[in-house]
Structures are given as structure tokens and as C-alpha cells.
Amino acid sequence: MRGIGKVESSFYDENGYYLHHEPVFPSERFGALKALFEDLLQKATVRPDKLDTPHFEEPRLLDFLLDDQIIDLVEPLIGPDIGLWSSHFICKTPNDGPASAWHADSDYWNGRFEAFTEIVTLWLAIDASDRENGCMRVIPGSHLTTRHDYSPVDRETNTFGSEIVDVDESKAVYFELKENEESFHYSRIVHGAEANTSSRRRGGYTMRYFSQRMKLNRDHSSNQTFKLWHCRGSNPHDNPVVN
């Protein structure tokens, strides 16, 4: 697999995202992850797009999340001192998978770090993802904006209850990926997805990592029971990570 070099990391810094059309895992290993996803999906008691932090309850996922192949891809984007922030299986079912309103991930994490400078999401395509089945889309360069205004949207047709206003959708870049390919996006980039109106499922696994040069706010209520893992490098702020 071709890695992330200076050209790719410079593009990521400038635009807030990067599409890496390379297989993440060898086919057999990807098949094992997909089988694990299918198992968790069958057992789920929540909507299929709401399988958040599944690695808290399913430790087999850590074998993938902490894999050196993954961390090697992340390091050029956020540096050598890496922690695992979160993961999330997002599955849009055929014909009725809801839209994801325009949002920035970091807006939902306000106060949990002293500043949001270096969190990257690796979005791994469990299924092929394209415009027809509601692939992710981003507004390039929007990661440089630190404040967003939101307005309410219909929760019956959206995964979120509000969305960022005044988004110029003509600038949107669509993340079309084959299964086992990946994209990367910055925590502050404005992104979303249209509804899945196709007869095909759209499943993905978001694997989120942070630079441990970022200091966790231990007093924030959401951090009291949240679990972090050490992936590589040093931990200069002594963040409470599992080694």
C-alpha cells in the first residue's frame, strides 16, 4: 500500500481532507473486520448509523484500530505522538438511510480538549461508497473556520437535529470510495452526506486519532468515563490513555 507523503499531507493541511484510493488492509484481514461489523450490526439495539465507540465493548476492534498500518497512515497528518480518540460504525441502509446534515465534528466536542488542532478521522469504506448511496461530502478549506452557526433540521430525515447554515454546496467534494479504501478529514471541516436512495447499503468505519500534544480537559463531564488509548510516541500532557 502506498503511504502518505509530503504531497498528500500538504494537500490535507491546505484542504482539510485527503482521499487515499488504496486498500487499507490485506483482503483477508479486511474480510475479518467486515465480518465483525456484520456481527455487531446484527446484535445492535440502536439504529445502524448509531454504532458509536463500539471498541469500548468489543476489544477485537482494537486489533484493527491500533494496527501499525493504520498508525503509519495517520502519523504524517498529526505527528508521531498519537492517541486513539474514538471510532464509529456508520451504516446507511438501502433506500431509507437518512441524510447527515452539514456539521463539523469538533463542534460536538467543545471543551473536551484545550484546543482542536490535530484530530484526524480515517473513514474506512466497509461498502463501496458513492453519490448514489449517500457518500460523505466536504467543503474544502472549511477546516480553517473556527466558529459555525447552526439551524434546526427535521430529525425524521437527518441523523442530526441541526445543521450549519449558509453552506455553499456547489463547492462540495464527494468521497467516492471502493470497499477497503479510505479518506481522511480534519475535525473542523464542514461535511455531511445526502440520504441513501439506492438499493445498496453504505457502511463505513470512522477511526479517529489525536495528537497527544493536545491536552485533554479532565474536568469535562464527557471525559469522565471516555476511554483513550496510546498508539505511538510520547504523552507530554500525561493524558489518561490505556497503554
Q: What is the pLDDT of residues 139-164, one digit of tens each?
A: 999 999 988 999 999 988 888 999 99
Query: Confidence class of residue 197 from pLDDT cuts 50, 70 and 90?
Result: very high
Banded pLDDT at 105 (limits 50, 70, 90): very high
CATH architecture of 6-242: Sandwich (2.60)
| β-sheet bridge partners, residue 122 | 184, 207
Pairing of strands 82-92, 100-103: unpaired
User: What pLDDT, on the 0 to 100 scale, is given for residue 2?
Assistant: 78
pLDDT at 47: 84
Question: Is residue 125 within 8 Å of 178, Cβ to Cβ?
Answer: yes
> Is residue 1 predicted with pLDDT exceeding 70?
no
Tell me the whole-structure pTM to 2 decimals. Answer: 0.96
Sequence-ordered alpha helix ranges (H) in the chain: 6-15, 27-43, 62-65, 68-78
Residue 155, CA distances (Å) to 63, 92, 240 in order = 35, 15, 35
pLDDT of residue 222: 94
What does the mean pLDDT of the chain come to?
A: 95
Q: Give the pLDDT confidence score for residue 64 in this predicted structure.
A: 98
Query: Strand ranges (DSSP E) for the chain?
Result: 17-20, 51-52, 82-92, 100-103, 119-125, 136-138, 150-152, 162-164, 173-174, 182-186, 191-193, 202-211, 228-232, 241-242
Q: How far apart (Å, rounded) are the C-alpha atoms in residues 55 and 227?
A: 10
Helix (H, G, I), strand (E, B) or coil at 69: helix
191-193: strand order across its sheet = 100-103, 191-193, 136-138, 173-174
With a cut of 70, say whether residue 165 has pLDDT above it.
yes
Pairing of strands 82-92, 51-52: antiparallel
User: 3-state DSSP call for residue 221?
Assistant: helix
**pLDDT score at 180:** 98
Examine the pLDDT at 25 and tell me if it is beyond 90: yes
